Structure 1
Amino acid sequence: MNKRSMTANIKNQKLLYHLTDADNFESIVSNGLQSRKSCRNISFKDVADQEIISFREEAGLDEYVPFHFFAQNPFDGRVQKKYPDSEFIYISIRRDLAQHYNFQIIPQHPLSMDPFKMYDYNEGMDIIDWNAMNSRDYHDPYIKNVCMAECVGKYIIPAKTFHCVWVRTNKSKSYVTDVLIKHNIDNVYVNHNPSMFVKRGV
């Protein structure tokens, strides 16, 4: 049995994950975690591919804040490899918060759906192929797409509602902690966990 098959069922975990460049963090704390459309007048480092940006705009997804169900999914890994000089962090919120505000579920990568459709939180959680997601076999195109399922919210998410921030380095931990202190936020955990990120030199 491989290590991944021994991990807890992703469906039963408690958090959602949003990857961003660490340089965006102070703006996020000041303005809340916002959709791409809401950020048009806010300077931020953008790491998304143009193809998916265009699709999201056409589908109205640029009005939503996207989260994934686990770290190191194919999208996050690709972004980190594409921008090796950038320092990334994960912002996590609790799934029960997303459920309470009826975030929408996209059960696999949006571009892989024909037709594209979003579901209410509870229905979408039942539709996701969790067995495929748990296998994380990125060589299988279907499984890879399921691993990029999203939970999206059409809200500005205040920093005080974050559950935690995950960082790769101690330097990032100090920076994120200092920003939170500066903005009088003392209820957000900052977790140093390099294993959540693509391996590279420290």
Structure 2
Amino acid sequence: MVKKLIKVIISLSLFIVFLVVCFALFAVFSIAGWLHTYKTFTQKELVAVVELEGMQIDEQGYEYTTIKYKPVKDQSALTSIFSSREGDGDQYEETKEYKIYGDQVELGGDFIKFSNALNLFGIKNIYKVSRLEGDFSNPDKAANVEKGKRTVYAINGGTDDYWKFLQENTEDMDFIVDSVYGSYSSKFIRGEKTTYGLYVTEDGFILDDIDKKKD
């Protein structure tokens, strides 16, 4: 009788230990998964430095400015899926200049957002800066802008056919691709020179003040 009681106590003790270990492992993996999810879906990387010269007005009354676009050294889409650009923020490509008509500038491009399941495994969303555009906030100027005053530049070859194909067939590939869309961010052109960082996040592009601590 005593032996049976001891066996029961040992069995219960082992079962309790097993439950505690299982709970601890579950907690560890849950926290690790949460931290990994947080990093994956909120990371912010510098794509380019954008310098806007002060606004000027031509003889016909149209606002314009010169933009200096300095992109961070490129990674291929394949590389950017599996690795981080962090630490390469001081490596830039050749600076390019563009003359933009308008009192605001819009910059962005093509964005492919993978499914959340793939994001959890570290597969990042991919993007390409493909368009720089000037626009007028004044509706009359925007509607009656002269030919040649409407400035749109294709960056990195512009939007490609592969992106268009994915956008048209997203529903058939929803187990891999969550969404395919164009993402753009705009800023008003000030009277003085201003500098912004073009960043990419898990939701798309944003023009923001340069993050000195990180970049």
TM tier, shorter chain? Answer: under 0.3
Name the one with the larger helix percent: 1
* TM-score, normalised via structure 2 length: 0.26
Between structures 1 and 2, the one with greater strand share? 2
| Structure with higher RCO (Cα < 8 A, 6+ apart) | 1
* TM-score computed with the length of structure 1 as normaliser: 0.27
